[in-house]
Amino acid sequence: MRVPNVLADLRARIAVIEGVSVRHGVLPFGIDEVDRHLPGGGIASGALHEVAGSPDLADDASATIFLTGMLARLDGPVIWCLTWRDLFAPALHLVGLHPDRVIHVEAGSDTQVLLAMEESLRHAGIAGVVGEVGKYSTTASKRLQLAAESSGVTAFVFRRASKVEQGAEGTAAVTRWRVRAAPSLPLGIPSLGRPRWQVDLERVRGGEPRTWLMEGCDAQGRIALPAALVDRPAAQEAHHIAA
Amino acid sequence: MRRVVSLFLPHWSTDRLRRKRTTSPPDRRDGVDANGTSFPLVTAIADHGRRIVAAVDAGASTLGISPGMTITKARSLAPDLEVVEADINADLQGLRQLSFWAGRRYAPIVAADPPDGLWLDITGCAHLFGSERALLKDLHRRVADFGLAVQIAVADTAGCAHAVARHVPAGRPVTIEPGDHRKAIALLPVSALRLDADVVTGLRKLGFDRVEQLIGTPRGPLAKRFGRNLHRRLDQALGTVPEPIEPIFPETLPRARRGFMEPIITADAFVQVIGDLTGDVVAQLGRAGKGARRLDCFFHRVDGHAQAIRVGTAAPSRDSRHLAKLLGARIETIDPGLGIESMTLVVPLVEPMGAEGGEFDAMLRSGRHEPDLAGLVDALSNRFGQRRLYRITPTSSVMPERSVAAYSPLDRRSGVAWDDDLPRPCRMLDPPEPIDVTAMMPDHPPAMFVWRRKRFRVTQADGPERLHGEWWRDRGQEADLPFAVRDYYQVETLTGGRYWVFRVGDGENQSTGPMRWFIHGAFA
């Protein structure tokens, strides 16, 4: 029973050495296999995180909902800074982010979005600040990270239409995620099952990159891992026969 | 870059008289007959024992009556002419009222340009309306709604805007793009330069018709003959000498002013003065039980130019630190030139606010750990414009693109949201984009579609969800419009991407739609 404590202690110490700020607390995904992999056991609050889809609109949509799920499970108002207006609020509500919580800022350009983000990050008590940008620089990421750290507000840079092969350039973000749509399980009836994503943790300060296959958010913004490698009904059947 | 609007009211005196009558309706004997058609109307002034026409309305003007003509002659041209004594003071007073109105609504630096115009310095104000074009359109529409004939032009210099407003007839605002004022003024007649009538006639006699001829001619001889005013006006229009606009505002507004012995230039000094000024006006507001919704800070330069910054607050405020911070965030837009000799802070828009200081102050005092949303919203909306900052709320429309409405971020929360069971895409394409689809008739989901020259193989689909046009909209026409009846499908492609596609029409009845397919968004 002591082993997890020791591990947690060690992780915390490593985090301090590596300068990972976990002093604002973390937001766990609630999936041990993922949380175990993140320093502090979840998404660090008061830090900068990057989320990307791909030039494919459906992948950007998946990344949007992945991000919305995290925001839905945080407490307080959300500032969402946009360059263009294609975000559709009813879908955010479907994964638990109530429209009353979100203030949209149509900032106009990448630079203006970053400016609006930095201003918003100075206001403690805001749950999260999202900025949708095409390109941004390492310097900008450092500024955002600093602002987030000093107020405790969590910052998310959403890199729109980000190409998969690029993206290795430096960033001050604590984590960088890439979310792409993956084929869902056929239900056997003409209907869609729960969406699935391939989620790449491309970068994490104080940790190793990793890839998971995930199931999309439920109505409370919680993601899940696919049930098992074995086909569950079949496994149950086998169990049944054995009994 | 300075942008000046000249607003020209070609029939100001007569429009004003007509407007006065329509606001006090009973007396319809004069001017308007039983059918509502109006007689031509002119105003008259005494001139050397005769009465001459001072201002004409559109009707009189088309009959060939022009200012300066004797009343006797005018009557001979239009027997049913109505003549009213000119009241120059009332005209001027009306113009001042109009400029106060424009000052509250559009820009801090607004001045009357007698006898029949207004100046608006809209530098740095356009973004609050979305664009310069939107600001001008709004201004044009509202002034026209007052029942005034109006022509509007905007340019880098006051002289150019003035000339274009009066010499380029157009039913909409004329925009002279930044840097184009020289080109624009060159093509106009010399009379566009705001010169005395005898100077214009003199120039005409010498063969000067258009401004470009003046620009290319040596100045000495002309100045000798016509005086220095000629070239001063030309230079003002070209922007080589300054033409300040002295802003006016009602005397009753809360205000504070500081004059400086030594002109100040640095941002630090401005911040210091802004702090003092906000302290002064906040004290005045406190005594009046009001809070500021908008602040204009004027910077008077030593060369006579006035510049201003305008900030607004989402809720009435008497928090001097907050107000000073909002103003301070915009001082980078001020060009101090050789120095600022005085600063004035005016509060053109106030709202009642309890002596206690309102909700916002109470929140600060109670020390609750609530985010300072009002502060953030003010800071963002003063930078990006109030319309770019909003929350979304559901509307009663069933059409997806109309099911959302924006409202002010600090308004009371609505608490309502959309149905939980309708699938909706999180990235919406507006307008929907046409796609080529292979699908079984009549009502199967697509098996394959081509969008933006890319092929998507559909593996699974859900639907259809049929949406009907809202027949009560568009004066009952919507049911006949494109996109009126749609069958929506959620489709999943081979790679797992999920899209929202729809077919126009119900698939059976040709009258409901042309059976064309569109993509409307993407799901997670």
Q: Could you tell me the domains of chain A?
A: 21-181+192-242 (3.40.50.300)
Asked which of A123-132, B40-49, B395-404, B507-516 is least confident by mean pLDDT, the reply is: B507-516
Residue B449 has what pLDDT? 94
Calpha distance B89→B314 (Å, rounded): 38
- Provide the terminal-to-terminal Cα distance of chain B, rounded to the nearest Å: 45
Both tokens of residue B77? 């041209």
Question: What mean pLDDT is predicted for residues B406-432?
Answer: 85
Per DSSP, the residues of B247-297 read ----TTS-EEEEEEEEEE--HHHHHHHHHHHHHHHHHHHHHHTEEEEEEEE
Cis peptide before B464 (omega within 30 of 0): yes
Taking only the tens place, the pLDDT of each residue in A84-99 is 889 999 999 999 999 9
Provide DSSP, B450-476.
EETTEEEEEEEEEEEEEE---TTSGGG
Confidence bin at B420 (pLDDT 50/70/90): confident
For the stretch A105-163, pLDDT in tens is 999 899 999 999 999 998 888 999 999 999 889 999 999 999 999 899 999 999 998 88
pLDDT in tens, B167-214: 988 888 999 999 999 999 988 998 899 888 889 999 999 888 889 888
A88 and B404: CB-CB below 8 Å?
yes
φ, ψ at B310 (rounded to 5°)? -125, 130
Query: Percent of chain A scored above 70 by pLDDT?
Result: 85
User: Rounded mean pLDDT of chain B?
Assistant: 85
User: Hey, how many other C-beta atoms are within 10 angstroms of the C-beta on B349?
Assistant: 17
Interchain pair A123, B417: CB under 8 A: no
pLDDT confidence of residue B269: 93
CA distance A86 to chain B (A): 5
Q: How far is CA B117 from the centre of its chain?
A: 17
List, as one string, the DSSP characters of A29-86: -S-HHHHTTSGGGSEESSSEEEEE--SSHHHHHHHHHHHHHHHHTS-S-EEEEESSS-
Q: Is A40 left (phi over 0), alpha (psi -120 to 50) or beta?
A: left
Query: Chain B: nearest CA to A37, how far in angstroms?
Result: 24
Would you tell me which residues 357-416 of chain B have a C-beta closer than 8 angstroms to some C-beta of chain A? 369-373, 375-377, 379-380, 383-384, 388-394, 400, 403-404, 406, 409, 413-415
Please determine, for residue A231, whether its predicted confidence score (pLDDT) is greater than 50.
Answer: no
Q: Is the pLDDT of residue B118 over 50?
A: yes
Tens digits of per-residue pLDDT, A163-191?
A: 887 655 678 999 999 999 999 888 777 77
Alpha carbon B219 to its chain centroid, in Å, reads 39
pLDDT attached to residue A16: 64
State the Cα–Cα distance between residues B522 and A60, nearest whole angstrom: 8
d(CA A74, CA A25): 12
At B379, list the tokens. 């800071």
pLDDT tens string B242-253 = 888 888 888 888
Q: How many CA atoms lie within 13 A of A158 on its CB side?
A: 28
- Positive or negative torsion for Cα A208, A212, A216, A217: negative
Domains and CATH numbers, chain B: 1-177 (3.30.70.270), 255-380 (3.30.1490.100), 427-522 (no CATH)
Q: How many CB pairs under 8 A join A and B?
A: 181
What the block records as the tokens of B96 is 């001042």
Q: Which of A64, A106, A197 sits opposite B427 (nearest CB)?
A: A64
Question: Which residues 6+ apart lie within 8 Å of B414 measured at CB?
Answer: A99, A100, B393, B394, B407
Chain B CB contacts of A87 below 8 Å: 426-428
Average pLDDT, chain A: 85
Closest residue, chain A, to B415 (C-alpha) = A100
Query: For residue A83, what are the CA distances in angstroms to A113, A143, A159?
Result: 7, 20, 11
| Interchain CB distance below 8 Å, B389 and A105 | yes
**Nearest one of B226, B233, B331, B201 to B277, comparing CA atoms:** B331
Q: What per-residue confidence (pLDDT) applies to B508?
A: 63
Q: Which two tokens stand for residue B48?
A: 């050397």
The predicted model gives B250-267 an average pLDDT of: 89
Structure ipTM:
0.86
Mean pLDDT of B286-299: 90
Stretch B51-76: mean pLDDT, rounded? 88
CA torsion through residues B332, B337, B343, B346, sign = negative
Q: Is residue B470 packed enough to be buried (19+ CB in 10 Å), middle (13-18) or exposed (0-12)?
A: middle
Instruction: Give the residue, A227 or A239, on which the prediction is more confident.
Output: A227
Q: Do A91 and B425 lie within an 8 Å CB cutoff?
A: yes
Helix axis angle, B229-238 relative to B219-226, nearest 10°?
Answer: 120
